[in-house]
Amino acid sequence: MNSFEHDLAERLTALRDQNLFRELRQVDSAQSARIQIAGKAFLNFSSNDYLGLATHPALIEAAIRAVDTFGAGSGASRLICGSLKPFHELETELARLKKTEAAIAFSSGYAAAQGAIGALIGKDDIIILDKLVHACIVDAAKLSGAKIRVFRHNDVGDLEEKLQWASQNTMPRIVRRVLIVTESIFSMDGDIAPLREIVKLKDKYHAWLMVDEAHATGIFGENGGGLIGELGLTDRVELQMATLGKALGASGGCICGSRRLVDFMVNRARPFIFSTAPAPAAAAAATAAIRLVQSAEGKELRKKLQANISEFQSDPGINPARSPALQYQSKSGPTASGTSRLSPIQPIIVGDEQRALDAAAKLRERQLFVPAIRYPSVARGSARLRITFTAAHSREDIFCLVDALKSLDIRD
Ligand SMILES: *Cc1c(COP(=O)(O)O)cnc(C)c1O
């Protein structure tokens, strides 16, 4: 072995020793409520395709039509070779969904975070993050060179302390900008940020707010626009971020906000400028999805999703002590409008990494696909089964999952 291979072998062994080694599992079917792995059918509780749109005929047809008209690839960055029509249609629909002046599409949510944060702030600025924001935001914050402060998860008191610190540090005009970043539904805990309180604080301290609606887009709000719209905060959040690859069933990411914000992104967001535009088919599929989530069918799918989550949660075997999403709900009570707002992400915290892997393996024996999520996706020692629900699950699917979970030995 040469030194390069030797180094890799040692590092891989270290990962295995800590039960943190990961492997890809080949899936031979489309992503939906049922998937095929190694010739066996599994009930799938791992996907973020919350409304089952990834295999919806409207999206598939839109993608095929886009391939027919615009081809398979985009040729270059949109600033270099011209900007294909499907992206403009997508951005118009995104702005309509989010009720913002404008929107800009990126090749992924990850790229959207890098682009937006990297363009807006630099080393003289301050970025304040919720402890549990997604890795793409943490990476973008680090790359920006800004001073990073982290507030305790969903703790507005702690956020205010960080804002006070920031305002003291802006006095001598050394540090100019303060950006707060949080999510609406958190990707691994499934709980929800106190956005109203956060908006009040950011106004009080003259900071800016970016909210990542990766998991709320398509599923919260009257028209599926997300939590910001549902709470009536659209005009008070500087940057709305979303992904097109979760409830919208396609792929890509976006930033929505003012026309000036989008003009600035086109000029300054490096992953937008220095990367080939996504495939036109992905944009066309996302556009079809956005139209769909705002339709009567979209509303029905959201209702079915909520019914599935509620079926799962009403099982007395679910231990709230292991479920951050349930704890959040019992604290927050019903929403002001009385509508249900249950999170499609329902983790069961197991703790130990090996125990989480064993639990997932037992579920696979029963042909249930539920991922064991470990460090670095979550903190060490907080490994979990991350169960996600979709509108494509039937009631029987939920019963099947609940039954299998009961047979697991998840002790403290
Ligand atoms: C998935 C996810 C992203 C990244 O989006 P991609 O389109 O998958 O790159 C960003 N933020 C959160 C909270 C996510 O869960």
Length of the chain: 412
**Is 200 an active-site residue?**
no
Q: What is the pLDDT along the chain (412 residues), one digit of tens a residue?
A: 899 999 999 999 999 999 899 999 999 999 999 999 999 999 999 999 999 999 999 999 999 999 999 999 999 999 999 999 999 999 999 999 999 999 999 999 999 999 999 999 999 999 999 999 999 999 999 999 999 999 999 999 999 999 999 988 765 666 689 999 999 999 999 999 999 999 999 999 999 999 999 999 999 999 999 999 999 999 999 999 999 999 999 999 999 999 999 999 999 999 999 999 999 999 999 999 999 999 999 999 999 999 999 999 988 877 777 888 888 877 776 565 555 689 999 999 999 999 999 999 999 999 999 999 999 999 999 999 999 999 999 999 999 999 999 888 775 4
Say if ligand 1 is within 6 A of residue 217 CB: no
Cα-to-centroid distance, 344 and ligand 1 (Å): 15
Our answer to whether residue 7 is catalytic in this structure is no
Distance 243 CA to ligand 1 centre (A): 6
Residue 243 near ligand 1, beta carbon < 6 Å: yes
Q: Is 114 in the pocket of ligand 1 (CB under 6 A)?
A: no
Q: Which atom of ligand 1 is nearest to the CA of 243?
A: 7
pTM, to two decimals: 0.95
The residues, ordered by sequence, that sit 6+ positions from 7 with a Cβ below 8 Å of its Cβ are none
Distance, CA of 323 to CA of 190 (rounded, Å): 9
- Single out the catalytic residue among 98, 215, 304, 393: 215
Q: Judge if the beta carbon of residue 189 lies within 6 A of ligand 1.
A: no
Q: Which atom of ligand 1 is nearest to the CA of 185?
A: 13
Q: How far is the CA of 170 from the centre of ligand 1 (A)?
A: 31
212 is catalytic: yes
The token duo for 134 is 């997604």
Does 249 contact ligand 1 (Cβ within 6 A)? Answer: no
Q: How far is the CA of 188 from the centre of ligand 1 (A)?
A: 11
